[in-house]
């Protein structure tokens, strides 16, 4: 158990809809990262938050957004969903924004299926 | 930009055989970390090993060992005496010092046949 909690574990929705994925980091971790795992793109970094502020953006679509709340949990919002958004979305956390540790702790993922 | 290449896609071995997974990376940074993660059929990503760019010492941890060679930008991973529970997808990943944003390879599907 990594200590990172993601909900929901599975989600099925239709094209055009909007969903929210939630992540609770390990206790005390200030950084939250979102990754997308799809069959064609593999594992890709989407976005990072550190202590409530956006720190870095990766290959995140404009239809997607995220935020980190004062209690450090994070939400990834996916809107105007398309079939290609079907993927496993991982959240990870770390104690610091970057530096000597270099280790991320991953949640079990939220599997999104868009029909 | 960082790039990780795992050339082999699927590897099948008979139980108790050794399996070696190849990983080649690209980065212009001199300080970086390399990782191996395991993704079993249940889907979660499990951290296995980490190495920083200043430490090329190769080690063994249980049935896992790794061979880090900066000269060839390779970070290969070996499972000794494979077991059925080792069946999973294994990812090599790279991050540079100063951020924890991992660049993953495409993964190696390992199938251990009993």
Contacts of B71 (CB under 8 A, 6+ apart): none
Q: Is the pLDDT of residue B50 over 90?
A: no
Cα B11 → chain centroid:
14
Look at A92-96, B41-45, B76-80, B89-93 and tell me which has the smallest mean pLDDT.
A92-96
Give the model's pLDDT for residue A41.
86
Q: Minimal Cα distance from B46: which residue of A? A: A106
Give the model's pLDDT for residue A95.
78
**Average of per-residue pLDDT values in chain A:** 92
User: What end-to-end distance do the CA atoms of chain A give, in Å?
Assistant: 31
Q: Does the distance separating the beta carbons of A94 and B100 come in below 8 Å?
A: yes
Give the model's pLDDT for residue A1.
79
Q: What is the pLDDT of residues A26-66, one digit of tens each?
A: 998 999 999 999 988 899 999 999 999 999 999 899 999 99
Q: How far is CA B88 from CA A13, B40, B42, B81, in A?
A: 28, 4, 9, 15
Q: Minimal Cα distance from B108: which residue of A? A: A42
Q: Does the distance separating the beta carbons of B100 and A98 come in below 8 Å?
A: yes
Q: Does the distance separating the beta carbons of B33 and A45 come in below 8 Å?
A: no
């Amino acid at each position: 158990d990594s200590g990172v909690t993601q909900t929901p574990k599975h989600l099925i929705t239709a094209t055009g809809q909007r969903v929210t994925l939630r992540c609770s980091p390990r206790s005390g971790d200030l950084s939250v990262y979102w990754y997308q795992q799809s069959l064609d793109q593999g594992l890709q970094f989407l976005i990072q938050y550190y202590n409530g502020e956006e720190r870095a953006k990766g290959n995140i679509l404009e239809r997607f957004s995220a935020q980190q709340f004062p209690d450090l949990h994070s939400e990834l919002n996916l809107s105007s969903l398309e079939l290609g958004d079907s993927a496993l979305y991982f959240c990870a956390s770390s104690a610091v924004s970057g530096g000597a540790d270099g280790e991320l702790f991953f949640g079990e993922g939220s599997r999104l299926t868009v029909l | 930009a960082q790039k990780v290449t795992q050339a082999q896609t699927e590897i099948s071995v008979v139980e108790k055989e050794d399996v070696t997974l190849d990983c080649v990376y690209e980065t212009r940074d001199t300080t970086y970390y390399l990782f191996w993660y395991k993704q079993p059929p249940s889907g979660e990503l499990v951290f296995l090993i980490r190495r920083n760019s200043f430490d090329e010492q190769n080690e063994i941890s249980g049935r896992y060992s790794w061979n880090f060679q900066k000269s060839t930008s390779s970070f290969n991973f070996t499972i000794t005496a494979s077991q059925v529970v080792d069946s999973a997808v294994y990812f090599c990943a790279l991050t540079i010092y100063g951020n924890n944003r991992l660049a993953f390879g495409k993964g190696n599907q390992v199938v251990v046949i009993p």
